[in-house]
Structure 1
Amino acid sequence: MAAICPSSTAKAGGGGIPVDPLNAVIVEGNVVPSASARAPEAAVCAFCIQTQRRVQGEGRVHTEVSYFEVEAWDALARVCAQQVRPGVGLRVVGRLKQDRWQQEDGVRVQRVKIVAEHVEFQTPFVW
């Protein structure tokens, strides 16, 4: 059975301003060497953050590693372009954004990334 994602029709305080559905993410980790930061005056800075999580199951503990693509825009992009480097620890607060397109061969592709709204620079995480 297919799931249906209805749009929100709720209004803030019963008034006339529509309420957007919650779309928020907080992730902490280290920047990995795929950073594609552009010149400091660029409007966008893209980088990848690695997170790790220890999971216990079947009598043993293993590490689950995830990589998340992040984009920062405008003033935040300029700060990130100057300071985001591989190995730097970050806390990224933002929202998820899905890009969808069709390749020339007809294959449909999708990708989910984090659009940063706030970035905190931290001591690198040691796992």
Structure 2
Amino acid sequence: MAGLNKIQIIGNLGRDPEMRFTPQGTAVTTFSVAVSRRWADRSGGEREETEWFRVEAWDKLADICNRYLTKGKQVYIEGRLRVRKYTDRDGIERTAVEVIANHMLMLGSKGDTPSYHDHDAPDGDYEEADASSPPRSSASSRPSSPPARNQPQPVGDDISDDDIPF
């Protein structure tokens, strides 16, 4: 039977992504994601614990993450764990656990995402990308009108975005 190495996290970026390239020209973007959980302790007090994950995205997904993610943004990351050993500057052997991303969703409301996502966004309040997605074009290279899509027609002018519960 085959093994399974899969991780899913939802959290906030702790810093802006950093992109670099391998000697072969492959893009690699790294960033950190903070995942917090809250619970009530035995005395009834609220406790919070935050775990930090180092995330790597490669190739096309690296480009997308570098372009659209910024510090503080909420994001869903799906990928696999990689454990690697290294020796630090003091000669001590260390172990690092990293998330190798193969899927990314930008979460949050449209007000939290830059305006250049508005034409590209699906009918939800998130952006989605995976390792096989082509990078999205930047706002400056987008044609002046968005491509036509099969979208439902508006029902009436009396409904605003504030009336929708999600």
Normalising by structure 2, what TM-score?
Answer: 0.57
Aligned to 1:43: 27
CA distance in 1, matches of 2:90, 2:50: 32
| 5+ long unaligned stretches in structure 1 | 1-9, 11-18
| DSSP-derived class of the 2:65 partner | helix
CA distance in 2, matches of 1:50, 1:32: 6
Aligned to 1:80: 65
CA distance in 2, matches of 1:102, 1:67: 21
CA contact (8 A) 1:100 1:110 kept: yes
Task: Kindly state the Cα deviation for residue 106 of structure 1 after the two structures are TM-superposed.
Answer: 3.5
CA contact (8 A) 1:26 1:92 kept: yes
Where do 1:54-93 residues align within 5 Å?
A: 54-59=38-43, 60-93=45-78
Stretches of 4+ moved more than 3 A in 1? Answer: 103-106
Q: Which has the higher contact order (CA 8 A, sep 6+)?
A: 1
Task: Kindly state the Cα deviation for residue 104 of structure 1 after the two structures are TM-superposed.
Answer: 5.7
Which structure's residues are more often strand, by fraction?
A: 1
How many residues are matched?
106
CA distance in 2, matches of 1:93, 1:113: 12
1:68-112 CA-partner distances (Å, limit 9, x unpaired) = 110000110011110111011100000100111234643111100
Which range moves more in the overlay, 23-32 or 55-64? 55-64
Amino acid in the other structure paired with 2:105: E
1:32-80 CA-partner distances (Å, limit 9, x unpaired) = 12632348x8610000011110022222221111111100001100111
Aligned to 2:7: 25
| DSSP-derived class of the 2:18 partner | coil
Is 1:108–2:129 an aligned residue pair? no
1:21-41 CA-partner distances (Å, limit 9, x unpaired) = 1111100011112632348x8
Identity of aligned residues (%): 28
CA contact (8 A) 2:77 2:104 kept: yes
Structure with the greater alpha carbon radius of gyration: 2
| DSSP-derived class of the 2:61 partner | helix
